[in-house]
Amino acid sequence: MCNGSIVALDKFTGSLIWKSSVPNMVICGFLAVAYGKVFVMFIKFPNGVNVWGIAAFDRYTGAYLWNFTIEGTLGSDRTPIAIANGMVFASFGSGLYALNAKDGTLIWHIPNFAYPMFSIAYGKLFVANDKSVVALDISSGSLIWNYTTSDWVSIPSVADGKVIFGCSNGEIYILDANTGSKISAYGTNNQYWSAPSIAYGKIYIVTEREIYAFIHGGGGSRSSVPSLR
């Protein structure tokens, strides 16, 4: 994405395959590729009003296909676009939106989320919303469960039927992905802002001062604490 346009380059030579744009739109933020399409976030400013949205382009030709727009303030300039079950998911305007990937029509919308960031697994969206993590049905957006903490939460990660996230109260939480019930928690003296990473049987999470590694499935016990100080 460059100067309000989106370009496709040959991965071996770097030569231009196609370049596309939509008039009066500035393409920004993340993009996603699926179903033969490229989905991008954009902003335009008609009459001084911020209008955010998602546009779709043909993956192979760059042809413009559709766009979905909404007036309002973007919840985060790092809002992701996610694709699953023939749907496009994104959060902007402090709301969470699910669109039909084929034609951009709105399937469901949940307003008044505080900077929602999310992960998708098991037919659910796991959403970090202010001081809570909620699980939503991917097809309808209906609430399945809600787990509330005492402070801001990180983007949740999902693996092996568990939802794992950090909190700025210094706790790492591990929840059951189906019920939202707490399996375990581990407290430190540091705030957690990043989403946990899961690999090699461990959970890795970065705090404002340290990196922590936990044994995945080990009840939240700490296996190592390499300090960054």
On the question of pLDDT at 226 being above 50, the answer is: no
* pLDDT for 183: 92
Report the chain's mean pLDDT, rounded to a whole number: 83
| Closest by CA position to 40, among listed 71, 69, 18 | 69
Indicate the pairing of strand 6-9 with strand 16-20: antiparallel
Q: What is the pLDDT of residues 69-95, one digit of tens each?
A: 886 655 444 567 899 999 999 887 668
On the question of pLDDT at 221 being above 60, the answer is: no
* pLDDT for 135: 97
Q: Which residue has the higher pLDDT, 217 or 202?
A: 202
pTM assigned to the model: 0.83
Domains of the chain (ranges; CATH) run: 1-115 (2.40.128.630), 124-229 (2.40.128.630)
Q: What is the pLDDT of residues 99-115, one digit of tens each?
A: 999 999 999 999 877 66
Q: Tokens for 130? A: 């202010």
Q: What is the pLDDT of residues 136-191, one digit of tens each?
A: 999 999 999 999 998 889 889 999 899 999 888 888 899 999 999 999 888 777 77
**220 pLDDT band (50/70/90 cuts)?**
very low
- DSSP per position, 176-229: ETTT--EEEEEE-SS-B-SPPEEETTEEEEEBSSBEEEEETTTTT-EEE--B--
What's the CA gap between 56 and 63, in Å, rounded? 9
Number of continuous H segments (helices) and E segments (strands) in the chain: 0, 22
Give, in order, the Cα–Cα distances in Å from 185 to each of 12, 111, 167, 192.
47, 30, 11, 13
On the question of pLDDT at 37 being above 80, the answer is: yes
